[in-house]
Amino acid sequence: MPNIGPMELIVVLVIVLLVFGPKRLPGLGKQLGSGMREFKDSISGSSKDGDDDDDAFGRPALTPAQEAEPAAEPSVQPVAEPVEKPASRPSA
């Protein structure tokens, strides 16, 4: 497999510049960098802040006191019984 040289890199950068334009390139670079950083952090399991205030789904983590108390029972609404319709008479 051939290596990517400086000429190929210049061609790719010119095509990207023509497709996206000079106004959108800084934003795209920032998004690409933050996406790569987020991917790296998710793979390595570390975070930039060092905060572990959120669980894996982005919800606030439970405190030890919250973990100790049992979860509230979900409220169950009674289901209405289906009403039977009277038998219809055939028309004569």
Rounded to 5°, angle at Cα 33 from 25 and 55 = 135
The pTM of the full predicted model, rounded to 2 decimals, is: 0.40
Instruction: Give the domain extent around 7.
Output: 1-44
Residue 14 pLDDT: 93
Give domain status of residue 10, yes or no: yes
> Tens digit of pLDDT for each residue in 19-76?
999 899 899 999 999 999 999 999 987 655 555 566 666 677 767 766 666 666 666 6
How many domains does the structure of the chain reveal? 1
Q: Looking at the predicted structure, is the pLDDT value of residue 85 above 70?
A: yes
Give domain status of residue 78, yes or no: no
Give domain status of residue 58, yes or no: no
Give domain status of residue 9, yes or no: yes
Give domain status of residue 19, yes or no: yes
Cα distance between residue 53 and residue 44, in whole Å: 18
